[in-house]
Amino acid sequence: MGNRLIIRLSRIAVILLTLVGLEAVVRAGLVSKLILSPPTRVAVKAWDDVRSGELLAHLGVTAVEFSIAFLIALTLGIGFGVLFFRFRLIGGAVEPLLLAFFAAPSILLYPVFLTLFGLGSATVVAIAVVTGTIPIVVNVSAGLMGVERIFVKLGKSLKVTPWQLFWKIMLPAATPTIFSGIRMGFTYTFIGVIAVEFLLFSGGLGRMVSWRYFIFDTEGLYSGVALVITIAALVNSLVRLAEERVRARWT
Amino acid sequence: MDVLIQVRKVSKTFEDLSGNTGGSVEAIRMIDFEVRRGEFVSLVGPSGCGKTTLLDIIGGLERPTGGEVILEGERVESPHPKAAMVFQTMSVFPWRTALTNVEFGLELRKVDSRTRRNKALEVLHLVGLQGFEYKYPSQLSGGMNQRLAIARALALDPDILLMDEPFGALDEQTRFLMGLELLRIWEATRKTILFITHSIAEAIQLSDRVLVLSMRPSVVKEEIPIPLPRPRTIETLTTDACKEIEHHIWDILKVEALKGLAERHGQ
Q: What is the CATH number of the domain that holds B201?
A: 3.40.50.300
The pLDDT value recorded for residue B59 is 93
Q: CA-CA distances (angstroms) from residue B231 to B127, B178, B206, B237?
A: 18, 14, 10, 10
Looking at residue A95, which CATH number applies to its domain?
1.10.3720.10
Give the number of other Cβ atoms within 10 Å of residue A26's Cβ: 19
Record: contact A157-B138, CB cut-off 8 A: no
SS3 content of chain B, % helix, strand, coil (to 5): 40, 25, 35
CB-CB: which of A151, A158, A175 is closest to B108? A158
**Per-residue confidence band for A149, with pLDDT thresholds at 50, 70 and 90:** very high
Residue B87 lies in a domain: no
Please indicate whether, in this complex, the C-beta atoms of B85 and A157 are within 8 angstroms of each other: yes
Chain A residue set in contact with B, beta carbons under 8 Å? 148, 150-151, 153-154, 156-160, 164, 168-169, 172-173, 175, 249-251
Q: How confident is the model at residue A74 (pLDDT cuts 50, 70, 90)?
A: very high
- Select the more confidently predicted residue: B234 or B132: B132
- Model pLDDT for residues B217-238, shown as the tens digit of each residue: 888 888 988 888 888 888 888 8
Q: Give Cα B132 to chain centroid, integer Å.
A: 25
C-alpha closest to that of B31 among B66, B60, B71, B79: B66
Answer yes or no: is pLDDT of A64 > 90.
Answer: yes
ipTM: 0.89
Mean pLDDT of chain A: 88
Q: Is B212 helix (H, G, I), strand (E, B) or coil?
A: strand
Q: How confident is the model at residue A118 (pLDDT cuts 50, 70, 90)?
A: confident
B168-189 mean pLDDT: 88
> Comparing A1-15, A180-194, B15-29, B244-258, which segment has the lowest mean pLDDT?
B15-29
Question: B50-100 pLDDT, tens per residue?
Answer: 888 999 999 999 999 988 999 998 899 999 999 999 998 788 999 999 999
Strand order in the sheet with B3-15: B24-36, B3-15, B66-71, B74-75
pLDDT of A251 strictly over 70: no
Confidence of residue A139 (pLDDT cuts 50, 70, 90): very high
Verify that A22 and A127 share a domain, yes or no. Answer: no
Cα separation, B182 vs A130, in Å, equals 55
Same-domain check for residues A93 and A208:
yes
DSSP state of A170: I
Looking at the structure, tell me whether residues A52 and A4 fall in a common domain.
no
Distance CA A110, CA A131 (A): 12
- In tens, the pLDDT along A155-177 reads 999 999 999 999 999 999 999 99
Is B84 in Cβ contact with A172 (below 8 Å)?
no
Mean pLDDT value of segment A141-154: 93
Q: Is the model's pLDDT at A30 over the cut of 90?
A: no
* A93/A186 same-domain check: yes
Claim to verify: residue A24 and residue A62 sit in the same structural domain: no
* Domain range for A116: 37-250
- Which domain does B170 fall in, by range? 3-82+158-266
Sign, CA torsion A238/A242/A243/A248:
positive
**Residue A101 C-alpha, separation from nearest chain B C-alpha, in angstroms:** 33
- Tell me the nearest-neighbour CA distance from A138 into chain B, angstroms: 22
pLDDT on residue A1: 55
Structural domain includes residue B170? yes
Domain count, chain A: 2
Question: Cα separation of A133 and A120, whole Å?
Answer: 21
Domain count, chain B: 1
